[in-house]
Structures are given as structure tokens and as C-alpha cells.
Chains A and B, each alone.
Chain A
């Protein structure tokens, strides 16, 4: 199973995303922003970073990249797409997910081990979790505040399109504690925290058992493998 990981100028977490894919048992494929060809991948990850320097708006310029044209079409056709942090911002700019992401309420970049509640398990990227499961995933961003119009929020809540919510602490002022969303079809998921940083024992968040042993992020990647196998 092949999972594409896109690199834009300024992308930072592509190598980590590829490692996560490998650890889950699939083959990572590097996709370059200027190349429209998706090279027959079964799913795509838009990783974290500061694509195009966050110029104009986070993810705004990346959303216009040649590779995104193909990805947007493919997403409408059901291709699983995961947007992490900057990737979530790109999905929002590309209108694959609704709302907007703005500067953290407290005005600072924050890097912390964040507790999340899994609110939806019927997606390509969350089907290996249990509904309501609490997981710990590293969060690191300056522009993670999720906002949306009243009607949009009502719709998201009403139709169960919220994939993850912040638990215990809302680190950035996101409305309704929204940490991540899914689309109606369930193939597109975007979230601010970084699952790819919680996949390898020894390099993830601390747990009660041992330092840096948290691997709650692995399920994201095994989920998409499971989704494709079933498809």
C-alpha cells in the first residue's frame, strides 16, 4: 500500500510522516508540490510545517500548488487525505474542510503534549480508534485557533463532522474545542496536532509508564491501511 507525502517549500514534518507510514507497514511515496502526478498512491498526507513561509495566510499559497489540483479532484472521488497542522490549514484553504484557522488566542507558539478525544471513528484515518477514546498527541503551532460561522459550527456538530476535540486544556482558543474535522464522506480528515510525532517508542510524548513512550498516533496510519484493504 502506497501513501503519498507532499513536500512544499517550507514543509517540515514530511520526513516524520514518511517514518510513520513505514512504521504502520505501508510504503511512503514523496510527492513534490510542482508535480501534478500522484504516482498511483492509495492515500495522501499533507504534513506540517510552514509551507511557503505561511505567507499571505497559512496554507493559502500551497493550496494553489499544481499537486493540490490533482489532490482536490481525487479527494472528491474518495481518495483518503490526511491534513496535519499546516496540512489542515491547506485543506481549509482548498475548501475541502470548512472554517478557518487563525493565530492562537494567547499569541504564542505552543508545543505541548495534548490530550484529545476521538469524536468520530467512521473515517479513513480514525477507524482503528474507539469512539470517545482519549489519546495524547503532540501539538505545536502558532496558528491553530479554529473558527467558523455559527451556522457552520451547528452543521459540524449536528452532522457529526468533528473528528477530534481538545480535552483538559484548549491550547489555542479553538471554537467548541475543535481539534480536527472530517468531511461528509469520511475520506478527508484534518487536525492541528501531530500524530506522526507519536508513533515510535522513545520519541513520543511521556506516559505514566515511561519517558517518551506514547504511540497513540500510530492508529491514524494503520486506520488508512485498514480502510484501503476494506475498500
Chain B
């Protein structure tokens, strides 16, 4: 190649580089980091929900930011937070400093999200939580607004509400058992994995269950990654418990459900079992997880509002499985961020925060209204209750994950009933009926 040819080639390369740099520098794309444990279902849910949101927005040309349309570019970050909080913080650092994302959505494990939150706040990046429930994540916003105002939660509602909902489901099952089996005093075995997020729930359960007219048969705290809980189940059976009130977010939910089902422990499992929220639970328990009831967010055929069915059907069609609650990244991007950016007309984080914290908007599972604390300070936490976020309860019935709550639920005796479209009645395990039917 002669000198002229080389000169032209170099000029073309430099020109192309300049154009692409200009495009990046002038931000034709909105970069959204999706951070989560990508080798696990929770992280896959984060990513899948985000993909659906990004594709839907980009198909319409992007988000209107001022006088131009900007498309979304997703950047995936594997936090590996189940195994290492350090990996999670490194992933967050890379998203912000190397990938230069504009927003971040995701997070799952509370311990890791605390650390990731600090990094995002330090860089004044809006971080929308789609997995961790600890109250403190949002209480930080109230206590130190200027630093933590960039944090919002979209799903789930906080631990206090999670417990409240779990107690409501417990009460619902107890009512069914009293009515069907005529048990005068229901005994509840409280089984909560040893993990930070579950610690406050132990005293809460010990206080609330007697007030609900039931008796605490005992409290068991297996390791969150225990693989054999037969010893615990043996002790639980001896306690005479009619209900197993479970609080599990990790793998222990599988052997517990499997072994309790296989041993035909004469008690109904209800509470929170994150593994039981997944389609893979049936195989993982070899079908022994039948009749397990858990708090949940999505179920095929159950509609919280008019947005639920299109999302769930679309997710099932695309990914072949029911979405878990971490797929709430879809709501975070399409319902929370996109309209707020359009309203703000800018990507300026402070401007977006001031609008988002006052918005009331619908998601595929709820109506989001951000709470304030007793002193009127912003929490950026979602409101629980009828008309806002209630969650659902699902029960495994013969291989299918069925929505069983809310079904004629009254938050107070005078309040109107809440029933979601598509809900089915709770079924009691046959061995429980056989054990107690008089």
C-alpha cells in the first residue's frame, strides 16, 4: 500500500473512532447496569426482566430525553453475591467506573446490597433495588437523605411488610384448618433460616402468633444452606405442630420441603420459601414439595392488575418459566425510570430523584407510592396494603404453582374484600386431613 493509501486508511479509522466517541460522549444511549447473581435464578430474573423492558422501550424508538430520543443499553454485572460480598462491590465499582452506567437496577442479598448501595450513592448513581427487603436499606434514605436519596426500592416490600403478609397467609391457612379439621388450638412451628434478613422475624413471630390465637410449638433456625433437615423435622413432628411457618430465602427451602413432604409431616407449610416461588422447585423436590404455600409475586393465571397478565404471559413465552420477583427490573426500567426521565427531560440524577419520589405509578404487580417515615422524611420504600402492594401467595398443587391469595381478604373487618382475578382455594395435604380429621 502506498503512502497515500495508508494515509486514507488511517484517516478513516480516526474518523470512525471520533464518530463513535462523539456518540458516546454526547450519550445517544442510556446505559443501565443490571447487577445480580447471574448464575442463579434470581440474577437471571433481574436480567430477563431488564431485557424485556429495554426491548419494549427501544422498539418504540427509546426514551424521550428533552428533544432527543435515547435508546437503552443494558450492561450485565454478575455480583456473585451469594458467595462473596467483595465480588458484589467490585462488580458495582466496575459498572460505575469502567462501564459508566447512568442507572443501576437489581441486587438481591441484603448483606451485599448494603455494600453496593454505598458505592452507588458515593457516585450519585440512581440504584433501584429489585430483590433485597431489609428495612435499613430505605431507612438510610431518611437518616441521611443527601447521600442515600439515589436509592429506591421497587420490589419486594420491606421485611416488616413481608412478615406482615406472611402472618396474614399464616392466619388464612389456620382459618382453613380450623374450619376443615376442627382443631381447637393450632400449634405453629417457626422455622427460619439463619440469615440477617430473617433475624428480626423471630421475635416478631413469637409475639404475633399467640395474639392470633395460636401457640408457638418451637423455633428452629437451620443453616440457610443446610442440605439435611431430618433431625429438625423429627423434633418438629414431636412438637405436635399443625403448621410449619417457614422463612427461607436460600437453598434450605428445597430439602426442607422435600423431606417434610417425603416424611409426610402432618403439618401445612406456609410462609416465605423463595425456592418454592420458582418453576424448578417441583423437580428440585422430586415432586415432594406439593402443597407448600409461599408468599410470591407472580403466578400464571393470577392478575394483580391489568398489567400483570401481559407481562407474565410475555415472560413465559420468552423464557419458558414463571417470572420470580427479581424480574421486577422490568418495572424498575419501564414503569419507574422511563416515564420519570421523560418527565424530567434530563438524565440528571437529582432532578429524577425529586420527581420519582413523588410519583404514584402502576407496575405489573402493584401501585407504587413511596412512603415517608413518622417524621415525614422520604424512605423511597413501597407502601404495603390494598390498592398498593399486597403481593400474592401461591401453593404448589400437583405440579402447578397456583395463586391462592388474596382471596376475599379483608385488611380490617370493616374493609372491603380483596380478591385477585384467577385466585384458587387452598388445598390441605391429604396426610394432614387424615391426621386430624375427626
Does chain A bind chain B?
no
